[in-house]
Structure 1
């Protein structure tokens, strides 16, 4: 079975890369601009192929040949007028760097990556009144891809107890492969919150001590009054306490690294209050227990990295299905055609 070569844009600390590696692909190139995220990435993947640089400055024709291009890109507004005038009018938008990589692959190697997988916030479809998704779809289609997109929640599709909805865009150059591709089916949530979160109060005197809240916190009395469950998580929302009553963790966000104010809180078995640790946040994203955290890196950076990352098991399941489709084409020599009633190749609906 062929080993497919993957290039990763906006790689962060490697969650997307790890999912594809676990599925059986090979990462041959990755790019990340954040220096602290790059440190964590190199700690776990080595430094042989990560290009730590602003993607706008990367020489795209130097990127090695890719079979699959992946990335979770920042969501920015698009101008339809600017798009119609050409991509040169939208150089500041990082999505177009994805297109530039595709174009460079075609220029240098004679063909674009066979498949793409992009991840973003769930409201990408409605962003800018649907204009953003429209431009993304048109841009990819103009490069020969047909795409499917679906919103998946990590707690339903990754067996991690985090309420995290993200849109995943999968596309292939061969439209038959796109039609045959299926997103993963829901699976039961068996990896419950208290299997990840350690509520042992003994930790208060050990390495977890810095994560505990005391009466020195101005809203401590309000926390003590409202936090009563040992099964769920809470958050302080400026003036009130919010409980996640579904017994999962709320969506981890990058701004957890901004003063730690948005880090979910838990009540330990002796009713002490503390924040989730960076390690627990990584576990709630589905990273393995042995994923390396660089020594002496500030917790603020680690929280940001966890919140910016993806849920690894969801990526793995998506990647497994992508690889299965690519291998089916290789094994069955394009015999998996699906045609509509008129005998024409049936393309995906909008």
Structure 2
């Protein structure tokens, strides 16, 4: 069976791509950022993406879906407001997820069989734990049995990026929820140099030279060609695990947030936006549209998810929905002796 997926806060489609790679069909997606929508359509086409503010979209027009996915912004919640029926928090985007669930039940007579939500790892402790508590209780009110784990992309996606995210999975069927297991960690065999070509000459705007007030500090600090660095205005941080630090949307607001590397000729440069996509596990044929500004490219890459991690979770969800009792999927590696 091919499961139909609805995607909220879809960004440039990283979560959609992970589910599509796992064999699901994306039936509907929504994103408010117009530039992210341009990038999304550049790869996926324009058949099902609904651009616009989710609070203003007629949720009864959303097609019938089997799995709802969402990488939603993290905001504080009022537990008192939640218990009063959400009146105090109607503007909080998380509750738009519940509105979509409610519309699906009203229009099609049932809820999506499964859900998967993604957020920053601090969601567990955000607002002294109240935020996660409200999310769990709200989903349980809709009949979902919920599990959640924090997974690091470098440990679960085989990509050289230190990126911890919480993944919340829920099923309408308790036996399915009981049988669902998150993926096991896998070896990190993809290194930075599998993503970054340090011998490649790129546009001059990506390099730091003597004209920069930070050049002397960078030159003194950046000596390792096997890792990445970050400029923190008054000091330079080396990533000692030889991977990229967490890519963030703030990369689009200035060069200081973009990780730096030392190339083979000892030049200091920023990671390219395309390299950031590769560090999120996007395939090499995924391209930004021509004419897209770098500020938008960096923001979109930082806002996205790590595709291979989502694919592995999606595969586990689909396996569970199919009723298969297979053991956890662990990638097999052959070690040369």
Q: Provide the TM-score with structure 1 as the length reference.
A: 0.92
Equivalent-residue separation in structure 2 for 1:182 and 1:194 (angstroms): 32
Q: Tell whether 2:95 aligns with 1:96.
A: yes
Matches within 5 A, 1:211-222: 211-222=206-217
Q: Among residues 270, 276, 279, which one is paired with 1:275 in the alignment?
A: 270
What residue number does 1:338 align with? none
Q: Describe the SS at the equivalent of 1:297.
A: coil
1:187: which partner in 2?
A: 186
1:70 aligns with 2:65: no
Secondary structure of 2:188's counterpart equals coil
Q: Which runs of 5+ in 1 are unaligned?
A: 333-350
Distance, in Å, in 1 between the alignment partners of 2:227 and 2:35 is 30
Q: How many residue pairs end up in the alignment?
A: 325
Measured in 2, the distance between the counterparts of 1:80 and 1:195 equals 46
Cα RMSD for the two superposed structures: 0.9
- What does residue 303 of structure 1 align with? 298
Q: Distance in 2 between matches of 1:290 and 1:213?
A: 29
CA distance in 2, matches of 1:286, 1:209: 26
Per the TM alignment, residue 209 of structure 1 is displaced from its structure 2 partner at its CA by 2.6
Per the TM alignment, residue 299 of structure 1 is displaced from its structure 2 partner at its CA by 0.5
Quote the Cα distance in structure 2 between the aligned partners of 1:292 and 1:281: 12
Superposed displacement of residue 238, structure 1:
1.8
Structure 1 window deviating more from structure 2 (87-96 vs 100-109): it is 87-96
Which residue of 2 is the match for residue 319 of structure 1? Answer: 314
The 8 Å contact of residues 260 and 300 in structure 1, kept in 2 or not, is answered as no
Map of 1:262 onto structure 2: 257
Equivalent residues of 2:115, 2:169 under 8 A apart = yes
**Counterpart contact for 1:171–1:178, Cα < 8 Å:** yes
Q: Please tell me whether the aligned partners of residues 157 and 184 of structure 1 are also in contact (alpha carbons under 8 angstroms).
A: yes
Report the CA distance between 1:249 and its aligned residue. Answer: 0.2
Give the 5 Å matches for 1:29-178. Answer: 29-178=28-177
Deviation at 1:87, TM superposition (A): 1.9
Cα distance between partner residues in 1 of 2:256 and 2:141: 43
Cross-structure match for 1:342: none
In structure 2, how many angstroms separate the alpha carbons of the residues matched to 1:209 and 1:288? 26
For residue 22 of structure 1, what is the aligned residue in structure 2?
A: 21
Q: Cα distance, 1:21 vs. partner?
A: 0.2
Q: Are the counterparts in 2 of residues 255 and 262 from structure 1 also a CA contact under 8 Å? A: yes
Deviations 1:76-103 (A, max 9, x none): 0000111111123311100000000000
* CA deviation after TM superposition for structure 1 residue 292, in Å: 1.8
Alpha-carbon distance in structure 1 between the residues aligned to 2:224 and 2:77? 44
